[in-house]
Amino acid sequence: GSLERRRCLYLQTGRACCQMVEVLLAALILVCSSVSCGSAGGYTGLPALGGIYYHQYGGAYSGFSGADGEQAQQLDQRFYLLKLPVSRAAMAVGGRLLVFPCVLISVGVLRVPWHFPAWLLIECTLYIVIAVGTVPALYYFLHSLLSVYNSSVCKEREQLYQSKGYQGFWCSLHGAEIAAGLLGCMAAMAYLLSAGLAVRDYRTVHEHKQKPLQL
C-alpha cells in the first residue's frame, strides 16, 4: 500500500544512494584485503612429481628443488604469517563497514528518522567518527604492510625468487593493497557526505514536523 511505497521512496533519496555507495566501497575493501592476505601454501613440495614445486596459484615451476624448494616454502609461510594480522584486521574493518550502511538503509526504509528525527543527528555523529577514524586506520594498514615488505624475510624471499628468474615477488605494495587504501579514502569522503546529508534531512524533517497540515 501507500506505506510500502513511502518506504521504497527512501531508496531514491540522496542519503540512501550514498549509503549504497558505501556498501559497494566496503565490499571492495573486503575483497582487496582478502587478496592481500593471499594463500599460506607458497611452494609445496610434491615428492611424487620428482622434486617439482607447484606455486600457490596452480602454475608448475621447475626452478626449485631440494634445499632451495624447502627454503622457498619456509619463506613463503613466514611471509604469509607476517602479513596475516594486517590482512585480518583490514578484513574485519571492511566487514564492519559493510554492515554499518546496511543497517542504516534498513533504518531509513523503516522510516525511523521520520518518527525519531534525533536519530539523524546520531547518524551524523557516527559518520563523522568513522570518517575521522578511517585516517589512522589507513595509516596503520599501509605502515604495517611497508614494515612487512621491509623485513629481512621479504628481502630474502625476493632475492631467492629473482635468482631463479621469477618475477612478481617484489617487496612493495601490490595493486590490491593500493586499491584498498584508495577505497578507504573514498569511503571516508562518502561518510562525510552522508553526515552532511543527515543534517540536511534532519532540518527537513523538523520543518515538516512543525507544519503537519501542510505535509
Q: What is the mean pLDDT of each run of 10 residues along the chain (215 residues)?
A: 61 89 94 74 40 39 64 84 89 92 91 87 94 94 92 89 79 89 94 94 82 55
In this prediction, residue 50 carries a pLDDT of 37
Note the helical H segments in the chain.
2-10, 14-37, 66-109, 112-115, 118-149, 152-163, 175-210
Answer positive or negative: Cα dihedral of 145, 149, 154, 158.
Answer: positive
In this prediction, residue 67 carries a pLDDT of 74
Helix, strand, or coil (residue 164): coil
> In Å, how far from its chain's centre is CA 90?
6
- Alpha-carbon distance of 38 to 80, in angstroms, equals 8
- Alpha-carbon distance of 90 to 176, in angstroms, equals 12
